[in-house]
Amino acid sequence: MIRSAQEVGNHPWVGARLQKKEAAMNAVTGFFLTILLAFSPGLAGAWVADNRHHVDFVSETVFEVVGRPGSGGQEFWCAAGDFARRALGAGAAQRVYLVRGPAPAQTRNWNRAVLFSLVPPQGADLSTMQTLSVDRVGDNLNVTMAQSYCVGNKVHDF
């Protein structure tokens, strides 16, 4: 006669069933955690701009906007301004500086990314340029202007 829950678990037939259920639950839990991390940029370490460009920190002051197929200056500046405003809390007049033009990404396996910072890059020409170029180190826009390139460029989830 079985007298306790521990004895139930030790019973050969019941114990084997419990082990199978536990293994199945662990597999399901692992699967859902994997899905959660894959689709939760905040948990995976990346931030996603309104235009669905991923933004990752490269250092304490430099962040990388990872391009998507067909990305140009407008998309890169949009993501940089959006990140500076919404993620970093930068003020509307804060300048966003281009640190490095298009090159392979440093934070993920992708072939095109641009580096930005809220701190001016050393030795760069910092004359204000109202351009969408992402080729000249030191080019800069204020956060509001950079973020304005997101207008009509926002990706909605339905």
Does the structure show a pLDDT above 80 at 7? no
Q: Would the pLDDT of 28 be above 50?
A: no
What is the residue extent of each domain of the chain? 5-38, 47-148
Q: What's the chain's length in residues?
A: 158
**What's the whole-number average pLDDT of the chain?**
80
Mean pLDDT of 81-87: 97
Provide mean pLDDT across the span 3-20: 59
Which pTM value belongs to this model? 0.69
DSSP assigned state of 119: S
Dig out the tokens for 27 from the structure.
Answer: 């597999």
What confidence category does residue 40 fall into, taking pLDDT thresholds of 50, 70 and 90?
Answer: very low
Of 24, 22, 85, 76, the C-alpha closest to 54 is: 76
Mean pLDDT of 42-54: 79
pLDDT at 38: 42
Q: What are phi and psi of 134, to 5 degrees?
A: -125, 30
Query: What are the C-alpha distances in Å from 127 to residues 43, 53, 133, 144?
Result: 38, 27, 14, 18
Which of 157, 128, 158 lies closest to 145 in space, CA to CA?
Answer: 128
**How much is the pLDDT for 41?**
41
Report pLDDT for 129.
65
pLDDT for residue 8: 53
Please state the rounded mean pLDDT for residues 120-148: 88
3-class DSSP state of 100: strand
Q: Within the chain, what is the greatest distance between any pair of CA atoms? A: 87
Most confidently modeled range among 9-23, 46-60, 119-133:
46-60
User: What 8-state DSSP symbol labels residue 91?
Assistant: -
| φ/ψ (deg, to 5) at 43 | -75, -30
